[in-house]
A and B are shown apart, each in its own frame.
Chain A
Amino acid sequence: MVSAAAETTYYLWLAAGVFALLGGGYLVLLVQRWRALQAALAGLQASEEQQTPGQAGT
């Protein structure tokens, strides 16, 4: 038999887990997106630099 105090503590930790999951999950998504955009930006800047000398020669 689970005591009332243990049961209420269980729900408190469950709520703490939900806060951590939602907050942490959102932060991870933001960081992943930031990194993906930084990589895309670096790639595009490299492409642009490669295109520029070719255009200057034509």
Chain B
Amino acid sequence: MQKNVGLQTLSIGSGLLLLAALYMVFMYAPLEAVMGAVQRVFYFHVAAGWVGALALFVAFVAGLLYLRRGGLLADRVALCSSEIGLVFISMNIASGAIWARPIWNTWWTWDPRLTTATITWLLYAAYLLLRQGIEDPQRRGRFAAVYGVIAFASVPLTFAAIRIFRSIHPVVIGAGAPGAKGSFDMTPAMRDTLLFSVFAFTVLYGALLWHRLRLEQLSERVAQLRLRVLQA
């Protein structure tokens, strides 16, 4: 496959943005008075959660497009975006558990936010496993699209869980939950760092999706060529 200048630029750009975000997290953002250094996990924890949700939203839209128009590209985008979404949700859940240990004094609790995030993770892990079991591309695409559209309901539910149910998870956007443990008021520097981290992660998602789509395209090319060679 030919070198893609746009993709290379995006990849290098996302790497540089991540380095800048790391600088802001460790050097620019002030030390939080109560939680100390571990509060810095928050910037990448939220950014990973945002990208996880964005990636699954893209997969949801691609699923809808596949159901409406068909076409391999929509199915390919849904697969690649779901996979990337799962990686970022894993980062979000794992970093949250590490933050919770010193702040909540436990690695894990079945809080509504943690429970719904785990359900989302399980749904998309199952999505990736189940679609591998279907050979026919048309059937696989239809199944994956329907599954992806239904499974996406878990994403807004996860976002809303801390606002609907009683939760100890801090609320960053909007009014804080009264029972939240580990809440803090963001200073302007903290807000800037968070927004920049979210931006850097979003650009990284774009680069990863583009790379992953090229990989899938190559995989399909190899499969077609293999079939041709075997039939000859």
* Residue positions of A touching B, CB distance < 8 A: 4-5, 7-9, 11-12, 14-15, 18-19, 22-23, 26, 30, 33-34, 37-38, 40-41, 44-45, 47-48, 51, 55
Contact with A along B20-58 (1 / 0, CB 8 A): 000000000000000111101100110010000000000
Question: Cβ of A45: which chain B residues have Cβ within 8 Å of it?
Answer: 225
**How many contacts between A and B, using CB within 8 angstroms?**
78
The verdict on B222 contacting chain A, using a C-beta distance below 8 Å, is: yes
* Residue positions of B touching A, CB distance < 8 A: 35-38, 40-41, 44-45, 48, 87, 90-91, 94-95, 98-99, 101-102, 211-212, 215, 218-219, 221-222, 225-226, 228-229, 232
Given contacts A19-B44, A48-B225, are A38 and B218 in contact (CB under 8 A)? Answer: yes
Question: Cβ of B99: which chain A residues have Cβ within 8 Å of it?
Answer: 11, 15
Residue of B with least CB distance to A41 = B222
Bound CA span A19–B222, Å: 32
Bound CA span A47–B222, Å: 12
